């Protein structure tokens, strides 16, 4: 049997899927074949906010339904929060660095960038948090892959902000001039995590994938994405969440979660933050924790920021 693993065709997607494929091959003992699939988000240069929900995943999911692939590998942060009834995510492998990072000319950090510096990012979440720092920077909307974005540094941009996980997965961590502390910039929900998805009826591959599940990554990403789901915010909304994890003292199978989240005005004029802590033993409990935090944010009045 050959397990067909679907992926976007970008350099980053192929790199992270290649690593996942090696793990699938190891735990299954079966041959694995990568199947590149072009998504809507790969063929348009329009801002992601204009393209709609699921632009990086819809074609991969359709390939699963059409039995063109057996497994789809997604960047978890790209997935819509509503899970289709016919598909399942049996595994969230160990998470890569969830932080945002800076690539700046002359090796600079955010503290080194003077007023008037041009910083590129395609994320409303990053834009709002950069503007909230009130440093007089010009925030420039950009799209493209790691190579095209980083190539603009030192040309028309002074710096770009990217996900650290992507740079590490393609072996370009040496380009990072600053890993940004989450106290300065809270990352996107599930940033740095992968989701391995298959057909719900495919019990064989579901069991294989489950062997790769990391409960720390799974519980953390589930709690973070529950914040998005309860706020009814898409993956491009100015919403951030991060769960720090540690082994619970009370139960070796449980995980202590410290979950932080924020909702921001796109112009950076207002940011509402909150946090909760709990011990969870299942994805359902992690989801409930994220929902609770989102409810507290809603009680604090963030609905008008999401309107």
Q: Which of 67, 70, 78, 156 is catalytic?
A: 78
* DSSP character string of the chain: -EEEEEE--SHHHHHHHHHHHHHHHHHH-SEEEEEE---HHHH--S-HHHH-TTTTTHHHHHHHHTTS-SEEEEEGGGS-SSPPTTEEEEE-PPPPP--EEEEEGGG--GGGPPTT-EEEES-HHHHHHHHHT-S-PEEEE--S-HHHHHTTBTTTBSEEEEEHHHHHHTT-GGG-SEEPPTTTS---TTTT-EEEEEETT-HHHHHHHHTT--HHHHHHHHHHHHHHHHHT--TTSSEEEEEEEEE-SS-TT-EEEEEEEEEE-TTSS-EEEEEEEEEESSHHHHHHHHHHHHHHHHHTTTHHHH-
Q: Is 70 a catalytic residue?
A: no
Query: Which residue has tokens 């980053």?
Result: 12
**169 Cα distance to chain centroid:** 14
Q: Judge contact between 196 and 75, C-beta under 8 A.
A: no
Give the count of beta carbons closer than 10 Å to the beta carbon of residue 97. Answer: 19
| Catalytically annotated residues | 78
């Amino acid at each position: 049997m050959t397990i067909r693993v679907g992926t976007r065709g970008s350099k980053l997607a192929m790199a992270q899927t290649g690593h996942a494929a090696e793990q699938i091959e190891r735990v299954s003992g079966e041959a694995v074949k990568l199947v590149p699939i072009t998504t809507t988000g790969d063929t348009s240069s329009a801002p992601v906010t204009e393209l709609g929900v699921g632009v990086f995943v819809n074609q991969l999911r359709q390939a699963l339904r059409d039995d063109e692939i057996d497994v789809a590998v997604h960047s978890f942060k790209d997935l819509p929060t509503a899970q289709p009834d016919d598909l399942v995510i049996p595994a969230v492998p160990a998470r890569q660095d969830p932080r945002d990072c800076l690539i700046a000319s002359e090796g600079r950090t955010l503290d080194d960038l003077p007023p008037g510096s041009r910083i590129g990012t395609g994320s409303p979440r990053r834009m709002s948090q950069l503007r909230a720092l009130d440093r007089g920077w010009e925030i420039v909307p950009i799209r493209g892959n790691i190579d095209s974005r980083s190539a603009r540094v030192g040309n028309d941009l002074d710096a770009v902000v990217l996900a650290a996980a992507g740079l590490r997965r393609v072996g370009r961590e040496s380009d990072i001039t600053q890993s940004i502390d989450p106290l300065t910039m809270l990352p996107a929900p599930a940033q740095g995590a992968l989701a391995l998805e298959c057909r719900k009826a495919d019990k064989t591959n579901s069991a294989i994938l489950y062997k790769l599940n990391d409960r720390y990554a799974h519980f953390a990403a589930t709690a973070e994405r529950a914040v998005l789901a309860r706020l009814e915010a898409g993956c491009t909304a100015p919403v951030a969440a991060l769960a720090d994890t540690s082994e619970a003292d009370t139960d070796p199978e449980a995980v202590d979660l410290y979950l932080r989240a924020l909702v921001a005005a796109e112009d950076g004029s207002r940011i509402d933050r909150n946090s909760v802590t709990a011990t969870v033993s299942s994805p359902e409990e992690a989801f409930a924790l994220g929902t609770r935090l989102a409810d507290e944010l809603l009680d604090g009045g963030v609905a008008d920021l999401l309107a």
